[in-house]
Amino acid sequence: MNIKESIESVRKSFRADSDPFPNDSQAVDDLRVKYLGRKGLVANLFSKMKDVSANDRPMAGKLLNDIKQEISYVIDSHIDSSKSDKSGKNESDYSLPGLTFPVGHVHPLQQTMDDIKSIFMNIGFSVAYGPEIDDDFHNFSALNFPPEHPARDMQDTFFIDPETVLRTHTSNVQIHLMEEKDPPLRYIIPGRVYRNEAISFKSYCLFHQVEGLYVDKFVSFADQKGILEYFVKRMFGSETKMRFRPSFFPFTEPSAEVDIWSEKRGQWLEILGCGMVDPEVFKSVDIDSDIWHGFAFGMGIERICMLKYGIDDIRLLYQGDMRFLEQF
């Protein structure tokens, strides 16, 4: 019988002798001597260590210490319990206040995401989610990024293989929605996106976006402007100054960027991009652009969060530092 089998044999023997545990003190002493005494069964196991190979000794030593501690714990805990029962006293004082356990906090990114979803859901938008790993068609081609188009260089992409990427924006879900559902459509699409960027105080290799898509027969840029003004006032306060600037995105035309004025910094700060869905995008999902019109917008959650809470370094949102997170 090897040392491991011998240890298991002693363990089974002790469990048989201690179930039920003896009531009188003499029987308890006899049990302790039998297993933990100088000539007891555990001591006998330790004497066999000289026969164990050098490679197996660390394992055998751990198993021996485990069984010694196990037997000691069982015997001592029954003795303490017996003393408490005989004294008729309970060591717990139920009049004392309970322990206060720390309560977790909702991460500021999640708080921001929840606020954004709530604002848009209150005006009729539904929430949709989509794949973080997607093919080139949904992430680029269907969004009017043809092969070799210079606009692809705007986004540093993580490629899994030549046709599969970690999505660089939540705009890929626009295509999935328009493929799977008939208009009218009114959705926001929150989720994580990935770009191969150097990590610094203002950029990270993953971040979060909320995409918006509204498709109907009589949708105009004025509708988009009104909805986004409503969002900005709800998110940053009714006195917030904002402006629309002409811009370029391959999947919207005309396109714009939205800025808000920062009194603290004394400058305009970009918060999102938007525009009317390009007819080429509708063509890629077989929607008639002569009948249906739409607008789309996208915003970075980290950007919104940092502006709202006055955070100057995006890395703080990912370090898990409780000193930082407890402020929210």
pLDDT 10s digits, 207-250: 899 999 999 999 999 999 999 999 999 999 999 999 999 999 98
Regarding predicted confidence, which is higher, 47 or 184? 184
What is the C-alpha separation between 115 and 92, in angstroms, rounded? 45
pLDDT 10s digits, 117-165: 999 999 999 999 999 999 989 999 999 887 777 656 666 888 888 889 8
Whole-prediction pTM: 0.66
Q: What's the pLDDT score for residue 66?
A: 87
What percentage of the chain carries pLDDT values higher than 90? 45
Q: What's the pLDDT score for residue 155?
A: 63
Q: What's the pLDDT score for residue 46?
A: 83
pLDDT 10s digits, 32-77: 888 888 888 888 888 888 888 888 888 888 888 888 888 888 888 8
